């Protein structure tokens, strides 16, 4: 997250993680490359077969263990400004034994490992640290990452503005006679030009492909009058992500059926956004989108949850879905993206990223919600 957060933010995160670990009876966190590592120390490490691991004991100073050839990259990251030790290991060293030594004497340490640590690494830690009680670090880091700080919300707002700018240019690329793949390439280039470090995904789903929520790109030629679902997102240089969907009409006029159910979808999405406020269970926001769609006879064609959390990952907690009774709280950021998908015919989805605030909701995507005719 270089360039966006001061070192004090990472220092605070490390301190809070250690405090929660101690409260939960965890002796140390072992965090390998991924969003958790970037969240705690700002280091976007490459996920290699060579071990990179932040060792964060509840009662001692953290150590970042890195392969010797990755030491320059670690020193060039925000992690180097935090004053923590960066311990490099050579090709003939055993990094798992090194980590075991850092944990100090004692039997049966209680360790929490990164949720997405590779299974082979978990097994090697288990072998190197006999009697270790291994659990998931997500239980420690969940609340820290779930409640975004003001700085994180602004980072997400910048990401939202960047993706809105791409949607505003859709008429330059999306037109009859072009393939989905060609349009997708132009969109990906535009995302980078708008400020994204990487275009993580481009969904351009025209005509019948729009009935597949996660259709990607194909060589299908877009036809006049096709509804086209465009779901795009990427990561900014600070690591925070964008994700926004709009549905377009590629020339021509919409059928009466499509125009009618698109209006149902638009109203359902807005009702779901309006339901966001502190204390409301996440599943209630899902229901606010689902109920009007079902009432219009399209309930069977809304086949996914209403939303997912977003931050340093495109998908993270909280999930806006039936069964999630967790109350919303200020700082929670997530998508609201109901859809209607008619198999073999067409589909539509509208997606915004929103943040729960002290008084209600702040949308981070401001592109129009009406069906855009290109």
The per-residue DSSP string of 157-203 comes to HHHHHHHHHHHTTGGGT--TTSBHHHHHHHHHHHHHHTT-SEEEEEE
**pLDDT for residue 107:** 62
pLDDT digits (tens, 9 = 90+) for 290-313: 999 999 999 999 999 999 999 999
Same-domain pairing of 217 and 87: no
Looking at the fold, whether 198 and 84 belong to one and the same domain comes out as no
Residue 164 lies in a domain: yes
* The pLDDT of residue 309: 98
Based on the fold, state whether residues 28 and 44 are members of the same structural domain.
yes
Whether residues 191 and 339 share a domain: the answer is: yes
- Check which CATH number belongs to the domain holding 364 and give it: 3.90.230.10
Same domain, 239 and 279: yes
Question: Is residue 1 assigned to a domain?
Answer: no
From first to last of its 374 residues, what are the pLDDT tens digits of the chain? 344 688 999 999 999 999 999 999 999 999 999 999 999 999 999 999 999 999 999 989 999 999 999 999 999 999 999 999 999 999 999 999 999 999 987 667 999 999 999 999 999 999 999 999 999 999 999 999 999 999 999 999 999 999 999 999 999 999 999 999 999 999 999 999 999 999 999 999 999 999 999 999 999 999 999 999 999 999 999 999 999 999 999 998 999 999 999 999 999 999 999 999 999 999 999 999 999 999 999 999 999 999 999 999 999 999 999 999 999 999 999 999 999 999 999 999 999 999 999 999 999 999 999 999 99
Cα 74 from Cα 64, distance rounded (Å)? 9
Considering the domain boundaries, does residue 153 fall inside one? yes
Q: How confident is the model at residue 1, as a pLDDT?
A: 38
Give the relative orientation of helices 282-295 and 256-274 as an angle to the nearest 10 degrees: 160
Q: How far is CA 187 from CA 172, 179, 198, 312, in A?
A: 10, 13, 12, 22
Do 191 and 278 reside in the same domain of the chain? yes
Counting the structural domains of the chain, the total is: 2
In a domain, 2, yes or no: no
Q: Please indicate, yes or no, whether residues 209 and 343 belong to a single structural domain of this protein.
A: yes
Indicate if 134 and 276 belong to the same structural domain: no
Report yes or no: 259 and 371 within 8 Å, Cβ to Cβ: yes
The answer to whether 67 and 46 have CB atoms below 8 angstroms apart is: no
Domain-ending residue, one of 98, 122, 145: 145
CATH number at residue 106: 3.40.350.10
pLDDT tens-place string over residues 74-107: 999 999 999 999 999 999 999 999 999 999 876 6
**Does 113 share its domain with 56?**
yes
pLDDT confidence of residue 106:
66
Single residue among 111, 145, 179 that ends a domain in this structure: 145
Q: Which domain holds residue 300?
A: 147-373
Same domain? For 189 and 320 the reply is: yes
Distance of CA 174 to the CA centre of its chain: 26
Specify if 309 maps to a domain: yes
Q: Quick one: 141 and 223 in the same domain?
A: no
Is 307 within the bounds of a domain? yes
- Is 13 domain-assigned? yes
Q: Would you say the pTM of this structure is higher than 0.75?
A: yes
Residue that is written with structure tokens 């991924």 in the block: 34
In this prediction, residue 4 carries a pLDDT of: 66
What is the rounded end-to-end Cα distance, in angstroms, of the chain? 37
CA separation for the pair 114, 140 (Å, rounded): 10
Helix (H) or strand (E) holding 118: none
Asked if residue 314 and residue 175 are part of one domain, the reply reads yes
Give the end of a domain, one of 145, 177, 211: 145
């Amino acid at each position: 997250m270089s360039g966006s957060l001061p070192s004090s933010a990472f220092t605070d995160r490390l301190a809070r993680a250690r405090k929660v670990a101690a409260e939960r009876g965890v002796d140390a966190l072992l965090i390998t490359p991924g969003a958790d590592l970037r969240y705690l120390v700002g280091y976007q490490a490459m996920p290699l077969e060579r071990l990179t691991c932040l060792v964060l004991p509840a009662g001692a100073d953290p150590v970042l263990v890195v392969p010797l050839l990755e030491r320059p990259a670690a020193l060039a990251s925000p992690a180097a400004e935090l004053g923590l030790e960066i311990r490099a290991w050579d090709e003939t060293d055993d990094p798992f034994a090194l980590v075991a030594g850092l944990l100090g004497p004692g039997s049966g340490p209680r360790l929490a490992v990164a949720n997405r640590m590779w299974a082979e690494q978990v097994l090697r830690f288990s072998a190197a640290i006999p009697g270790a009680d291994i659990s998931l670090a997500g239980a420690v880091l969940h609340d820290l990452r779930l409640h975004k700080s003001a700085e994180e919300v602004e980072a997400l707002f910048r990401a939202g503005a960047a993706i809105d700018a791409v949607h505003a240019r859709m008429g330059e690329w999306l037109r009859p006679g072009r393939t989905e793949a060609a349009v997708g390439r132009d969109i990906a280039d535009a995302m980078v030009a708008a400020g994204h470090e990487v275009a993580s995904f481009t969904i351009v789903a025209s005509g019948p492909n729009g009935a597949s929520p996660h259709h990607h790109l194909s060589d299908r030629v877009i036809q006049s009058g096709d509804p086209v679902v465009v779901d795009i997102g990427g990561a900014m240089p600070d690591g925070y992500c964008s994700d926004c969907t709009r549905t377009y009409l590629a020339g021509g006029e919409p059928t009466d059926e499509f125009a009618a159910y698109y209006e149902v979808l638009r109203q359902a999405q807005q009702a779901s956004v309006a339901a966001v406020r502190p204390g409301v269970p996440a599943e209630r926001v899902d229901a606010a989108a689902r109920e009007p769609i079902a009432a219009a006879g399209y309930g069977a064609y809304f086949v996914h949850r209403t939303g997912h959390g977003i931050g340093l990952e495109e998908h993270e907690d909280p999930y806006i879905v039936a069964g999630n009774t967790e109350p919303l709280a200020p700082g929670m950021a997530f998508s609201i993206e109901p859809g209607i998908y008619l198999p073999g015919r067409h589909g539509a989805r509208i997606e915004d990223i929103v943040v729960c605030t002290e008084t209600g909701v702040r949308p981070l995507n401001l592109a129009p919600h009406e069906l855009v005719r290109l």
